[in-house]
Structure 1
């Protein structure tokens, strides 16, 4: 559970700082258009902080952490989020500096796509683990009439 808390906390700090960077960098460069820097702030806060706060609650209820699937989810998801938002930052900075889409290397969107693949792999692992835990909690030990019969014996 601590991992999820620390991850949420780190993403909160980085998300707020990325918003500050976006505002100050675009102001300094007199940039008024759209760039991916503005989206980076919300992605870090939503996919980072809020997502890990939700995972923290799910972990408290379903005891997710401490398993191989949770560890795999944690590292795949974090790697994917860092790569994806990092490429958003690179793309946004290049846009603010005056590069148009034709002059931004194809490596940037390809790397961002790889980050999204890692995010997806992490989410699949989380849902597989969560599905197992939900099934364990839902599986009744018998019908109510069977439980009543057992209790009366």
Structure 2
């Protein structure tokens, strides 16, 4: 699971950086100066993909969340949901820059909405796994004192 989290974070970093470059070049090439969904794909993928997965990698290293299948399913679901969300935003943004009427298509909004629903499901699975693991981690008085000294 550590490798999966690392590779997923690295992949989302690549997608985030590439989407920022794509936004800049597409808008420059088309002399577009208006608002577009394309401008936020970069930040969504870097924060929800890279930062979130690196935080979960650290939590997993400390708490061994991967022992809970809900966490493993949550990571898979997270990647699927973020792909749908970012994909819908990317398509809508390109259509907006190209000033195509399809930019207002309910189908594109539906894909992004479905992505958000899947991300919500992933949040639930991940939080359930964290909560279950937190219940199993009970401190003895000696361990609690050691943790206070480390802080």
TM-score interval (norm. to shorter): 0.7 to 0.9
Deviation at 1:10, TM superposition (A): 0.4
Alignment of 1:23-102 (within 5 A): 23-99=24-100
Which structure: larger Rg? 1
Deviation at 1:128, TM superposition (A): 0.4
| 1:20 and 2:17 correspond | no
Give the paired residue count. Answer: 141
**What RMSD in Å do the two structures reach over aligned CA positions?**
1.6
Query: Take 1:66 and 1:93, find their aligned partners in 2: how far apart are those partners?
Result: 41
Deviates more, 1:60-69 or 1:113-122: 60-69
Deviates more, 1:104-113 or 1:42-51: 104-113
Query: Take 1:87 and 1:70, find their aligned partners in 2: how far apart are those partners?
Result: 25
Q: Give ranges in structure 2 of 5+ residues lacking alignment.
A: 143-151
Residues 2-21 of structure 1: CA distance to partner in whole angstroms, max 9, x if unpaired? 11111110000110000000
| 1:119 and 2:119 correspond | yes
Q: Give ranges in structure 1 of 5+ residues lacking alignment.
A: 145-153
Query: Take 2:82 and 2:106, find their aligned partners in 1: how far apart are those partners?
Result: 19
Residues 28-55 of structure 1: CA distance to partner in whole angstroms, max 9, x if unpaired? 0000011011100000000000000000
Alignment of 1:120-135 (within 5 A): 120-135=120-135
Residues 55-89 of structure 1: CA distance to partner in whole angstroms, max 9, x if unpaired? 00000000012432122101111110000000000
Question: What is aligned with 2:146?
Answer: none
After TM superposition, the runs of 4+ consecutive aligned structure 1 residues lying more than 6 A away are: none
Deviation at 1:99, TM superposition (A): 3.0
Question: What is aligned with 1:110?
Answer: 110
Query: Take 2:23 and 2:59, find their aligned partners in 1: how far apart are those partners?
Result: 33
Secondary structure of the residue aligned to 1:2 is helix
